[in-house]
Structure 1
C-alpha cells in the first residue's frame, strides 16, 4: 500500500466557530473547501483537517490529533497568549517536548517537538 495523503476528521457542534478556532490556533491561511454539506476541509501541515458539524460523541477510547512542530515550547507560549487552555508542557530529556489540550468541542489535541 502506498498512502498518498491523510485526512483527519473531527466532529464539532458549530462549524463556523470551529473553523475560526482552528484557523487561529493552527495559523491556517489556506482556503477551505466544502466536500459535502456540513463539512469543511483545509490543509494543516501535511494533513487535510476535516471538520463536520455533528454532536461529538464520546464512547470508549478517544482519538488524539498529535501535531509535530519545530518548537513545542514556542507554540505553548503562543497558544497561552491566545487564551487557549493547555496542559503542562512536558520535557522528556533526549526525546520529546509536548503538551496536550482540547478544542472547544472536547476533541483531544497535542503538539510535540523532538529534542536531543
Structure 2
C-alpha cells in the first residue's frame, strides 16, 4: 500500500523566520520553496521535513534526527541558544530532545 514516508510536516508561526532558523541552527538544506511551505533535506536521509505556516505548539509529531556525534550536536545547539534536554540512555540508544522556536518537538539519537 505505501512505499515510504514522503515528508514530516511541522507548523510554524512565520515561514520566513522559521526557514532561517532551520537553515542556520539545524543546518538543513532547503530543497523546495512552494510559496506557502518549504522543504528541507535532512543529511543523507530520504525523508524531508516540510514547514508550513499554521497553528503551532506541542504536537504528537516528533521527528527523530540521527547524529554521528550526539554530544557535539547537543553542545552546538546549546551554543546557538537552543534549550536542549539532557543526554539519556535507553539500552544502546543515546538521545536528547529540543524544540524549535514554535514549540515543535524534536529528538536526536545515536546508537
User: Could you say whether these structures have the same fold, taking a TM-score greater than 0.5 normalized by the shorter chain as the test?
Assistant: yes
1:78 deviates by: 1.0
Rg larger for: 1
Indicate conservation of the 8 Å contact 2:57/2:104, yes or no: no
Alpha-carbon contact 1:73-1:97 (below 8 Å) kept: no
Structure 2 gap segments, 5+ residues each: none
Alignment RMSD = 1.9
SS of 2:82 mapped into structure 1:
coil
> What is the count of residue pairs matched by the alignment?
109
Over 3 Å counting, the alpha-carbon distance change for 1:71 and 1:57 in structure 2 is closer
Could you list the structure 1 runs, at least 4 aligned residues long, displaced by more than 6 angstroms after superposition: none
Aligned residue number for residue 11 of structure 1: 11
In the alignment, structure 1 residue 51 sits paired with structure 2 residue 51: yes
Q: Which runs of 5+ in 1 are unaligned?
A: none
Partner of 1:112: 109
TM normalised by structure 2 equals 0.84
CA-CA distance at 1:97 after TM superposition: 1.1
Q: Aligned to 1:97, what secondary structure does the other structure show?
A: strand
TM-score, length of structure 1 as denominator length: 0.81
